[in-house]
Structure 1
Amino acid sequence: MRIHNIIKTVCLAGSLALLSACEDWLEIEPKDRFGDTTVWGSEENADMFLNDIYNQLPHLNNETQNLDQYSDNSYVGAEWMNARTTIYTGALSPTSWIPGPWDMWKWGRQNNDDAKGQYERIRSCNLFITKVTESDFSADYKKERLAEARFLRAWFYHYLWMAYGGVPIITEVLDNNVSTDIFYPRETAQKTFEFIDKELDEIKDDLPPRRSGSDLGRASKGAILTLKGWVELFHASELRNPGKDKKRWEAAAATLKDVIDLQVYRLQPTILDLWTEATNNNDEVIFDFQMSKQNGGRREGLFGPVFVKGVQSSWGNMQPTQELVDDYCMANGLPITDPASGYDKNNPYKNREKRFYQSILYDGSMWQGEEIITRVGVGSPNEIDTSSDSDVTNTGYYTRKTIDESVNGADNLQMSNGMANYIFFRYADVLLMYAEASLEAGDKPTAVEYLDMVRTRGGNMPSIDDTYPQGITENQLREIIRRDRRIELAFEDKRWWDILRWKICDGENGVMNKPIGGMKIEDTNGDGVWEYNYHEVGKRTFLPRMYYQPLPQYVIDKNPVIREQNGGEDGWVNGQNPGY
């Protein structure tokens, strides 16, 4: 039985709930709240505890506020959402902080009734590691499960590291009945990276290359190496590598090549072959969250087209921006800004690359046997909403990619019945990361080779050499790789981290300081000729300090050791990130 189903069927659920409980963000818990002999009495029972940790991975199939909403990929009309109230306005502060989608970078509980944060999850990993290490379980069990727990701990830490920079590194189970050293300082961003990277390096050979059968959803060598490669790529990028140390790119490239050399992953024919129940656990998936009938997803009801066949079928919470739409190339591989591309502003959706049609629902798209109409003045319930008075699209577009067309959105609004797994990492991402790392490490031919594997998949577009027979510069290739990451990984919660690590959000030309655009289609002159006009949906403000999240004020208030940290290589002021 797959791991995300097991936890819901065992009699230990009550014990696990106690084990997961925690007094506050420090994760101090008296040991007398649970019986060790019950939970740690057998490998099967210990597995239940570990499965509960897996179940806390921040998958976003049920998350109203997806991470792409924070970026320039998507807009959402609901004014109460964090993207609108805090990210778009530049209002981030220690007292006006956001936990991220599914509490992705939430530090920890603010009070006993609050939802868990990453340090509660880290504590669970520490407890599992401690108890299993002390147990008399078999050597094989210990080797595999301890590697999984350390992977999960590194996973939770990597979210904190990307969001905040340096954070306290806690690898033991804190107990306020025993220890007085319960306050940990922030480690530097560099030392936090080194901890995560070293953890993953030490366990990479302890798990099989890929999982199958009853182990689907568990960590594997492929997952470990991919997380390691991603963390190294982030560490090599402009935000964390202002000195442009090429060795960091070389390290990332080497790790990502190790994933490729496992030879257990391959691209699916198209990106539409990834997000359905029928295609779950395909050869492109490296690490995912296994959905189940007891724990289904709601993507269709949250992110699909709002009205289908006259019935509201979605909240429309992920609306592609015009800026994203404009980044899809033409079928000949050229961007629409290239005079030779053949782009027609009066027929903008003609002859675009295949990924455009597989990712975006635009005026005239077919969905579940019905044409989606967003143009003005024809009485369509999906007509663009330029006032944000309804759930209908503000940009003139809806999301197609990651939405299972076989699921009835109206039903999905009421129940979590989506069965497509949530994918954290897939092989196309690895190929694009490897292409980027290779380019920045000075290996342009390798970058082109692996970029082409993704761009040309399923006849999407010609190769780089065929598209640019005259050749391209290093800067041009960098722009193409970055555009391809945006297009290939759209709506997969990657763009936010990419624009942060590339440090392209702020300033006059920052992607998060530009107006948010949509497409308003109207018969302006009443002569039956439809005009496609850019429509400004909204504005954003991104301040330089926002490349790092502020530490929540309650964290600083509770930890006197952090409050004493000033200056250093990360420039903290009373433990807080610069600018806050």
Structure 2
Amino acid sequence: MKKIISKILVLSALVLMFSCKKSLLDQDNPNTLTVDQFWKTESDAQKGVNAAYAMFYQNGGWNRWIYFRLDLTSDEGWSNSPWTELGDWTRFQYINYNFWEGNVNTYRDTYKAIFRCNQVLTYVPEIPFADAKKKAEILAQAKFLRGFYYYYAAILWENFPIVTTIQTPTDLPAQSSLAQVWAQVEKDLTEASADLPEQWTGGEIGRATKGAAQALLGKALMQQHKWADAKTAFDYLVTGAGKNYYDLVDYKDNFRAENENNKESVFEIQFSDVNKSAEGDGPSANVGSNRAQFFAPRSIGWSDGQARFWLVNEFKKEKTTDNKIDPRLRYTLFYPGLEADFGDKTYGRSWEWGADEAWFKKYSRDYMRSNEDYFNQVNNRVIRFADVLLMYAEALNELGQTADAYQYVNRVRTRVNMAGLATAYPAIGNNKDLFRERLKVERSLELCGESVRWADLKRWGDLDNKANVDKVALRDPDFKNFVVGKHIRLPLPQVEVDNNTNLSQNPNY
């Protein structure tokens, strides 16, 4: 399960430099391979794509800061951090566009990950392989990862420069529109899907699969309201050739270090606590997650991010078929009534925080320890099958096939002993608008704290006009600061705009 990490570590330190014509003052560094010396063998190709996977462990991305952008900026989370500027970047008060932890670090690591993918896609085609299928799979993984990073660039900055070739220091990438970024995502994921295996085995488990490419492609198409195309992409996992690979499992198994890479997992980041060291590109660098350390309650972690309490109330609005509290609440949030409701303490302690406070529980290690650190080994299930089922239902509803959509929502609900949707909410019927509004709630209950809510709000148009934003602000007061037409996207780091005459700052910044 975690063996892929050991392979990634072998090459995560490789930062390849361009060579140029030799002179007495221009000699090869004996401790650093050049492009002329590397990219020669199948092993080099494998190491190159491993280095692209290794970007998951950098601070700007899935190791730490991206959760502030995707979870805390949405109406599910907020920050009461004593670090004022860090908190400001979750409440739409962007003063310094070059704020490292809020913008530049994530932008840089996204760009760096794309660069590593571009290296693979540039050099590997020229490497001879004994097995052409193996070469195709390496190239497909690089395309998937490039599409993955461009997907999140589209979600966060929108107008992110598209770079698909190896750059030189003097290159000035052109401005790209959101439509162009989405087109690149679609191209990369479509091409990746054609050559990715349906499943990996042994130590290769955790690499991108055909199902992962199809699911992410579907998510990208959903953001563009290409409902029919999105349904077609999801078909592979739900009704097509890949349906036997995916299913729902015990809900709690999606957020713990045990039972990882199970049938509900479509794509997950392989975290490990093997290295108790700093993040970086060295072979002994940290490959764990910092998320829980920054999201844990006070005195347990840094507590820079927490959940909005409206989520607790939403979970309690509807009981299970045997008149109990929705069991997903137990594994989703820490909140004052957790011990009374389920007999669980918060990291082994009775509640000692505010009466109206809640904290994210998913991916925490409260069930195995009493505190958090920077080396959390719980894999992040970036895409799981429940998300696919709910998006499939959403696409069907938007296509006017509401009656058919019910069954996919019901698969998610009945897994946790909730009544079928038609039984619980008969007034919805086949009304597309009512079904969509209920689906918004279903996604918050099932996927809270899983870094999908910001994309959801954008896709639903909930941030497109003041009336809709005002409704969101009833759940999350930070949205009183939200400026329509501006905060739908992050500003580009100002240093990038200043250094590149082909870039313009995002609208209204």
Q: Would the TM-score normalized by the shorter structure come out above 0.5? A: yes
Deviation at 1:64, TM superposition (A): 9.1
Give the corresponding residue for 1:433: 391
Q: CA deviation digits over 1:438-473, x for unaligned, max 9? A: 1111111222111111122131x1001221345532
Paired residue secondary structure (1:278): coil
In the TM superposition, structure 1's runs of 4+ consecutive aligned residues that sit over 6 Å from their partners are 30-33, 367-370
Give the corresponding residue for 1:465: 422
Q: CA deviation digits over 1:209-256, x for unaligned, max 9? A: 1223111221110111111001000111xxxxxxxxxxx211111111
State the distance in 2 between where 1:541 and 1:500 align.
16
State the distance in 2 between where 1:82 and 1:324 align.
26
Give the corresponding residue for 2:483: 543
State the distance in 2 between where 1:102 and 1:283 align.
36
Give the corresponding residue for 1:514: 473
Deviation at 1:512, TM superposition (A): 7.8
Deviation at 1:82, TM superposition (A): 5.4
Paired residue secondary structure (1:288): strand
Matched, 1:118 2:110: yes
Select 1:133's aligned residue among 125, 132, 145.
Answer: 125
State the distance in 2 between where 1:102 and 1:556 align.
12
Give the corresponding residue for 1:327: 314
Matched, 1:288 2:264: no
Matched, 1:19 2:16: yes
Q: 1:18-167 residue pairs with structure 2 within 5 A?
A: 18-19=15-16, 34-36=33-35, 38-57=37-56, 60=62, 62-63=64-65, 66=68, 67-80=70-83, 84-88=87-91, 90-92=92-94, 95=97, 103-104=105-106, 106=107, 108=108, 117-138=109-130, 139-167=132-160
Paired residue secondary structure (2:179): helix
State the distance in 1 between where 2:177 and 2:502 align.
14
Letter in 1 for 2:387: D
State the distance in 2 between where 1:290 and 1:358 align.
20
Give the corresponding residue for 1:194: 183
Name the CA shift for 1:52/1:277 in 2 (closer, same or farther; >3 Å): same
Deviation at 1:42, TM superposition (A): 2.3
Name the CA shift for 1:99/1:133 in 2 (closer, same or farther; >3 Å): farther
Deviation at 1:158, TM superposition (A): 1.5
Select 2:234's aligned residue among 241, 248, 256.
Answer: 256
C-alpha contact (below 8 Å) 1:76/1:317 kept by paired residues: yes
Deviation at 1:98, TM superposition (A): 6.8
Normalized per residue, the structure richer in helix is 2
State the distance in 1 between where 2:218 and 2:200 align.
19
Deviation at 1:396, TM superposition (A): 2.5
Matched, 1:479 2:437: yes
Paired residue secondary structure (1:425): strand
Name the CA shift for 1:83/1:454 in 2 (closer, same or farther; >3 Å): farther
State the distance in 1 between where 2:492 and 2:96 align.
6
State the distance in 1 between where 2:427 and 2:330 align.
29
C-alpha contact (below 8 Å) 1:61/1:422 kept by paired residues: no
Q: 1:367-386 residue pairs with structure 2 within 5 A?
A: 371=345, 382-384=352-354
Name the CA shift for 1:2/1:303 in 2 (closer, same or farther; >3 Å): same
Deviation at 1:299, TM superposition (A): 4.6
Name the CA shift for 1:82/1:485 in 2 (closer, same or farther; >3 Å): farther
Matched, 1:578 2:507: yes
Identity %: 27
Q: Can you give the 5+ residue segments of structure 1 that lack an aligned partner in the other structure?
A: 23-29, 109-116, 237-247, 307-311, 335-349, 374-378, 385-393, 518-536, 563-574
Q: CA deviation digits over 1:244-294, x for unaligned, max 9? A: xxxx21111111122222114434443211122211111100111112222
Q: Which moved more, 1:464-473 or 1:69-78?
A: 464-473
Q: CA deviation digits over 1:169-199, x for unaligned, max 9? A: 22111235xxx7x223223222221222122
State the distance in 2 between where 1:19 and 1:323 align.
48
Give the corresponding residue for 2:379: 421
Name the CA shift for 1:263/1:157 in 2 (closer, same or farther; >3 Å): same
State the distance in 2 between where 1:135 and 1:78 align.
50
Matched, 1:275 2:275: no
Deviation at 1:365, TM superposition (A): 2.0
C-alpha contact (below 8 Å) 2:196/2:208 kept by paired residues: yes
* Length, aligned pairs only: 474
Select 1:357's aligned residue among 330, 335, 340.
Answer: 330
Give the corresponding residue for 1:502: 460
Give the corresponding residue for 1:552: 493
Name the CA shift for 1:202/1:38 in 2 (closer, same or farther; >3 Å): same
Name the CA shift for 1:333/1:499 in 2 (closer, same or farther; >3 Å): farther
Deviation at 1:484, TM superposition (A): 1.0
State the distance in 2 between where 1:404 and 1:380 align.
16
Deviation at 1:63, TM superposition (A): 4.8
C-alpha contact (below 8 Å) 2:97/2:103 kept by paired residues: no
State the distance in 2 between where 1:466 and 1:405 align.
35
C-alpha contact (below 8 Å) 1:82/1:98 kept by paired residues: no
Q: CA deviation digits over 1:288-308, x for unaligned, max 9? A: 1112222233454443444xx
State the distance in 1 between where 2:174 and 2:291 align.
39
Q: CA deviation digits over 1:34-56, x for unaligned, max 9? A: 33365323222332221121010
Q: CA RMSD in A?
A: 3.3
C-alpha contact (below 8 Å) 1:64/1:302 kept by paired residues: no
Give the corresponding residue for 2:360: 399
Paired residue secondary structure (2:89): helix
Q: Can you give the 5+ residue segments of structure 2 that lack an aligned partner in the other structure?
A: 20-26, 276-286
Paired residue secondary structure (2:383): strand
C-alpha contact (below 8 Å) 2:65/2:101 kept by paired residues: no
Name the CA shift for 1:257/1:152 in 2 (closer, same or farther; >3 Å): same
C-alpha contact (below 8 Å) 2:333/2:362 kept by paired residues: yes
Deviation at 1:482, TM superposition (A): 1.0
Give the corresponding residue for 2:197: 208
Give the corresponding residue for 1:491: 449
C-alpha contact (below 8 Å) 2:189/2:213 kept by paired residues: yes
Give the corresponding residue for 1:341: none
Give the corresponding residue for 2:278: none
Paired residue secondary structure (2:217): helix
Name the CA shift for 1:298/1:230 in 2 (closer, same or farther; >3 Å): same
Paired residue secondary structure (2:129): coil
State the distance in 1 between where 2:193 and 2:456 align.
25
Q: Which moved more, 1:167-176 or 1:93-102?
A: 93-102
C-alpha contact (below 8 Å) 1:319/1:395 kept by paired residues: no
From the CA coordinates, give the structure whose radius of gyration is larger.
1
